[in-house]
Chains A and B, each alone.
Chain A
């Protein structure tokens, strides 16, 4: 079969500026720096930019009809790779050769305008994704019924519920008919029923003989959808091969497991002028960083952050997400915190959340944290998706909740140890 995408020695670097957080500069800064450089003996003093290689030495080929899953941690270079492949940004070195029409879906609802109606947004978004007006005309009814918004085609999308918004956005994208489809993690949004509908649609697309490149943290979706897999690790290609082998390796060797993340430099840490993260960790019962647990073990999530501005009522929350991308539960610090209902002072804070043993189910669990101000509405300060990831497995001895139940027990969210009472009732007769 013929090769449709050939990537040779691809590399991409970004210049990261140390002082300003904004990627753009002001003329004043540039002039000031030039002047400073003129007078400084050591020219390097004035240089505040650092190179960061988001991608390095990437080589692979994709054949027609293949469905490639790209996996890797946050910051492994997945999104950069997709951006280069979809011509949004230019590579620093190397070359990509592509055969066929490419459509990329890096975000759901790009270019949606809240003031425009559903109908108007379908046309606008379709055009942005590269569809012709004729094509959209032909598929209009199909798109509307896929999105289940028949009654609202002439309502401005700002009045849509977030679910309707996402459904409409995905529906437009799902009706693209390119030869090569590039999809970033877009299924992480929307309710589960709709997510499954989207996955089904994507399966159909790939059955029609189109090439698909798919990025996701959701291994289940990758396994269902893809034939081959690529692991990116710190900007390099760590492994390439058959999708099951790649996922096994990714999960098995713990390439995907993250027990700790530290942001040593405050201006690079997630956050804003109110809160900046310092570190997040998964800890075992001895307070050691750990990524592999038994179902009976307690798990603790630790967050360290700095509060930079006084007077905010902060709330920290953790989302526990399983490998299917389902949120198992959300936990907030607002019951235990001594700062509950009080304005926070500045300084370093540590928050610890204990999940008891015999509560989590087997599987990969990733953590999304969020720190926000609670008022009449929520104002987010810092959050990171899939910042930590750990595995819970079962030793299969009868000491756990499982008892001597011999079969798989994976399809539910949690596996708590609950009080049961079973007794034989005395027959009244």
Chain B
């Protein structure tokens, strides 16, 4: 049916043969869009990159005060600021990349209605901005470790795996939210909710060990639980902070979120230009 003479056939409902190949072809666009978002973020700001440091630092101080000093949650053998900050890192990354990616299609509607390229590049490149922020605020963790003279164990080498999981969780959810957002603008109000509630439903200000046993399974259905516990385990080396069961539940959920996110995105992307 296909005439081999042609490189490209456009038909209704036709799935691209070269979808993933196309994405590779447009890798430079991915690079330029990420670069644009990063550059624009810090243009015309007086203290620029410092903003990426101030936010997590202040949040950490407040959390240490509320959970560590007022509520007196246990932190095991590590200083409370380290406990909070090692969870704050993945949480901030998740929250900001979820926010960026779920709004990404709408804020780039001009591009979508005027140029063709694989649309998935837009949410993907918006996550990169948060990754840059993440790397910048990672330096705070290093300073904290020096301050408390804390030396991480071999587990720190597994950290990239957990960063990848945090990326998967936010990108998978971001794909869902951004494609739904194109049609239903309600979802831009939902994201701040997720982020606000999620902060208290995830073990950011406290350690997972304070969660009562009977709530444990339900609790582990939050995919960020596995990620944050993983971060703590990798950075602080606490044995009791990581539960294999929770971790596997999180991993499976994240993989499902990614696969379904890509599926839904691809299903809807051809209509983006018509309804955005």
Contact at B9–A95, with CB atoms within 8 Å? yes
- Report chain B residues within 8 Å CB of A129: 115
Contact at A24–B10, with CB atoms within 8 Å? no
Identify the stretch in A69-77, A115-123, A187-195, A412-420 within 8 Å (CB) of chain B at 4 or more residues.
A115-123
Contact at B10–A25, with CB atoms within 8 Å? no
- Write the chain B residue with the least CB distance to A127: B32
Q: Which of A6, A98, A113, A156 contacts B7 (CB 8 A)?
A: A98
Contact at B40–A115, with CB atoms within 8 Å? yes
Cβ of B12 within 8 Å of any chain A Cβ, yes or no, is yes
CB distance from A268 to the nearest CB of B (A): 17
Q: Which of B10, B33, B115, B183 contacts A98 (CB 8 A)?
A: B10
Contact at A14–B274, with CB atoms within 8 Å? yes
- Report chain A residues within 8 Å CB of B185: 24, 26
Contact at B29–A127, with CB atoms within 8 Å? yes
Interface size class of A (residues with CB under 8 A): 35 or more
CB distance from A120 to the nearest CB of B (A): 7
Cβ of A382 within 8 Å of any chain B Cβ, yes or no, is no
Contact at A110–B7, with CB atoms within 8 Å? no
Q: A86-B116, A123-B32, A132-B28 are in contact. Are A113 and B40 (CB under 8 A)?
A: yes
Cβ of A90 within 8 Å of any chain B Cβ, yes or no, is yes
Interface size class of B (residues with CB under 8 A): 35 or more
CB distance from A19 to the nearest CB of B (A): 16
- Write the chain A residue with the least CB distance to B37: A113
- Report chain B residues within 8 Å CB of A27: 184, 186
- Report chain B residues within 8 Å CB of A6: 6
Contact at A25–B183, with CB atoms within 8 Å? yes
Cβ of A28 within 8 Å of any chain B Cβ, yes or no, is yes
Contact with B along A70-110 (1 / 0, CB 8 A): 00000000000001111111111111111110101011001
CB distance from B7 to the nearest CB of A (A): 5
CB distance from A78 to the nearest CB of B (A): 15
Cβ of A398 within 8 Å of any chain B Cβ, yes or no, is no
Contact at A133–B28, with CB atoms within 8 Å? yes
Contact at A97–B6, with CB atoms within 8 Å? yes
Q: Which of A89, A94, A106 contacts B274 (CB 8 A)?
A: A89
- Report chain B residues within 8 Å CB of A120: 36, 39
Q: Which of A26, A90, A97, A100 contacts B271 (CB 8 A)?
A: A90
Q: Which of B3, B32, B33, B110 contacts A110 (CB 8 A)?
A: B110
- Write the chain B residue with the least CB distance to A8: B11
Cβ of B182 within 8 Å of any chain A Cβ, yes or no, is yes
Max count, chain B CB within 10 A of own CB: residue among A88, A92, A113: A88
CB distance from B192 to the nearest CB of A (A): 16
A102 CA to B271 CA, complexed, in Å: 20
A97 CA to B5 CA, complexed, in Å: 9
Cβ of A374 within 8 Å of any chain B Cβ, yes or no, is no
CB distance from A188 to the nearest CB of B (A): 16
22 example contacts (A-B, Cβ-Cβ < 8 A) are as follows A2-B5, A6-B6, A24-B182, A24-B184, A86-B115, A88-B115, A88-B273, A89-B271, A90-B271, A91-B10, A91-B12, A92-B12, A95-B11, A97-B6, A98-B9, A110-B111, A110-B114, A111-B111, A113-B36, A127-B29, A127-B33, A130-B29
Which 8 A-B pairs have CB atoms at the shortest separation, nearest pair first? A97-B6, A87-B116, A127-B32, A96-B10, A90-B270, A27-B186, A98-B8, A110-B114
Interface residues of B (CB under 8 A from A): 3, 5-13, 26, 28-29, 31-33, 36, 39-40, 43-44, 110-117, 182-186, 270-271, 273-276
Contacts A89-B270, A97-B8, A110-B115 supplied; 5 other A-B pairs, CB < 8 Å: A24-B183, A86-B115, A98-B10, A104-B116, A128-B29
